[in-house]
Structure 1
Amino acid sequence: MNKWLEYLKNNDFISVKKYIKNGADTNETNELGESVLACAIRFRCDFDLLMLIIDNGADIFELDDEGVSIFDMAITYNNIDMVNFLIEKGVDVNKTNRRSGFTSLMAAACYGRVEIAKILIEQGVNQDAIDAKGFSAVDFARKMNKKSVLELLDYDKNSPKNTTYAR
């Protein structure tokens, strides 16, 4: 995985292309169970490089050891092109594989990903979903003080439960 990491950190399209041509496994994982594609997203590689990896067999539906998906990674690292691509490929915006029940909208709320939250809402994401501890996307947006995301969500700032956190 070290060669992959070296090329991905440098967003090196040509070296990745040569590495793949020489037989590199696009579904290799690191010690945390993160795939090449997940690492490329984390290193904020260009969309063309991500597509090269995908076109050469990377599994866009894979999960790491914690249940974090490529879709989750795209949201976390604010990769709107990848979010749209994955939705086009059939990713369910309401599905989570995390034991905690943490959803895509919760991630967008936590990180203040306004554009991604808009996309998720347009795709019919369940705004009322709760995680294993009973928290919703609204709760995460309030806790993280992401007012711009709160404005998009079904949020009543005058509700008694919403008198703390962001208003």
Structure 2
Amino acid sequence: MEKLVAAGADANAKHLGTQSSAFWIAAGDGYITRFLFENGLRQDSQTEGGHTPLFGIISGQNDDISLPEAFITAGADVNHTDRALRTPMHYAANRALAEILHKHGANLFAKDKYGMTPLHMACKIGRLDAIQFLLSKGAMVDEAAMAGWTPLLYSTCNEEDDFEGFPFPPNPYTGTSRLEVAKILLEQGANIRAATTDGQTVLHGAARLSDTELVRYFVEHGANVRAVNANAETALHNAARTANVEAVRYLIDQGADVHAVTTEGETILHAACSRANRTTLTFISNILEIILDNGIEVNAKDVTGSTSLHLLYEQFYRYQSCNTEAFNLLLRRGADRLVANNDGEKVMELIEKDEKWAWDDEGFLKAKQSPYEHTHRRGGKGRGGWGRGRGGMRES
């Protein structure tokens, strides 16, 4: 690189196809970053996302905290906004970097196009010391961004792929627990019962994250165990979907509505059966037993006409993995193999046509052959139908 620059190469040259410069390619390398800086790196150069080099340094890709000082002294704008209207402060990876920006006049309360302040962003990503710094400087602990998302609500958000427009994809909550963040926010007066415009609460989020400790903490500090969102989903539905036995038992003990039904007609039994995966299928019997012991109707139908038995078979089919104990538990507790969904499909007939599973002489499920000998011939299924989107399990 030294030879190229000595021969006249431009430190700001961009790749013809990607428009990326050497700085962004090597942003995690302190030596190269400083070399480029000392050889003409322009502080006003921007990526297609509107990021100047200061954004790359501040977002935590480099451990040398003297670099931001050098960049700012050389003219980097601490309040420059990218295409999402975020400033470098939105991306500050830690307290030290946030303090440097603040010292040079960065706006601690700037809002991006979604109404998110640096505090919202720090809570979403889990940057604990940055959160503490921002709160110490007067950041509003309950300020609502678009759709009513407060910093506390963002701390329970698990949309890890929702980082469009970032200089670099972050690693949310690496080395920081959500419980630590929640404690700090609540100590500063955050409203634990705040909800988004579609009714999402922190308890919905904690249950969706399958974080039992966080679920307990929120309930102990006043979260409403019966809160429903716009789809009439409760935290108990989310705990059931993640097959979190401890959280399901705890929420029920705390008064959660075991008979709550979503706008899709989903009971907590549907929720447990519809989201089972390769991992949870191995221990789903435990959670089904808890749910059934609380009086849930085993043959209740959702809006597609599917019972829990239909939905559990769907997961067996999808993952080519079967927990016959769980399936037979539903049967022993009264599940009807002959109930048809809206497409006329009955679990009795689906099993009879299946290459891998069969009914034994007593009407319970058994394996036909080793899963490793089975050839998967059919396609996947959307909710309510195998192989043909939302309307059918039938083979073509």
TM bucket (normalised to shorter chain) is 0.7 to 0.9
RMSD: 2.4
Deviates more, 1:137-146 or 1:19-28: 137-146
Partner of residue 58, structure 1: 106
Q: How does 1:1-167 map to 2 (within 5 A)?
A: 1-8=51-58, 9-39=61-91, 41=92, 44=93, 46-96=94-144, 98-111=145-158, 113-154=178-219, 156=225, 157-158=251-252, 159-160=256-257, 164=268
SS, match of residue 147 in structure 2? coil
The one-letter amino acid paired with 1:54 is: H
The answer to whether the Cα contact below 8 Å between 1:17 and 1:52 also exists between their aligned partners in 2 is: yes
Cα offset, 1:70, TM superposition: 0.4
Distance 1:136 1:10 in 2: 35
Partner of residue 327, structure 2: none
Percent identity over the alignment is 25
The one-letter amino acid paired with 1:3 is: P
The one-letter amino acid paired with 2:203 is: V
Cα offset, 1:49, TM superposition: 2.2
The answer to whether the Cα contact below 8 Å between 2:85 and 2:113 also exists between their aligned partners in 1 is: yes
- Whose Rg is larger? 2
The answer to whether the Cα contact below 8 Å between 2:119 and 2:134 also exists between their aligned partners in 1 is: yes
Deviates more, 1:157-166 or 1:58-67: 157-166
The one-letter amino acid paired with 1:25 is: D
Deviation by residue 1:129-154 (Cα, 9 ceiling, x = unmatched): 11101221112222232222111112
SS, match of residue 152 in structure 1? helix
The answer to whether the Cα contact below 8 Å between 1:11 and 1:49 also exists between their aligned partners in 2 is: no
SS, match of residue 23 in structure 1? coil
Cα offset, 1:22, TM superposition: 2.1
Deviation by residue 1:41-68 (Cα, 9 ceiling, x = unmatched): 2xx3x42222111110111111111111
The answer to whether the Cα contact below 8 Å between 1:74 and 1:82 also exists between their aligned partners in 2 is: yes
Cα offset, 1:92, TM superposition: 2.3
Distance 1:80 1:7 in 2: 19
Deviates more, 1:151-160 or 1:49-58: 151-160
Cα offset, 1:113, TM superposition: 1.0
Distance 1:26 1:70 in 2: 13
Deviates more, 1:130-139 or 1:146-155: 146-155
Distance 1:125 1:7 in 2: 31
Segments of 5+ residues of structure 2 without an aligned counterpart are: 1-50, 159-176, 226-250, 261-266, 273-286, 288-396
Distance 1:18 1:6 in 2: 14
The answer to whether the Cα contact below 8 Å between 2:125 and 2:155 also exists between their aligned partners in 1 is: no
Divergent runs of 4+, >6 A: none
Equivalent residues, number: 162
The one-letter amino acid paired with 2:184 is: I
Higher RCO (C-alpha 8 Å, min separation 6)? 1
Cα offset, 1:3, TM superposition: 1.9
Closer/same/farther in 2, CA of residues 147 and 49 from structure 1, 3 Å limit? same
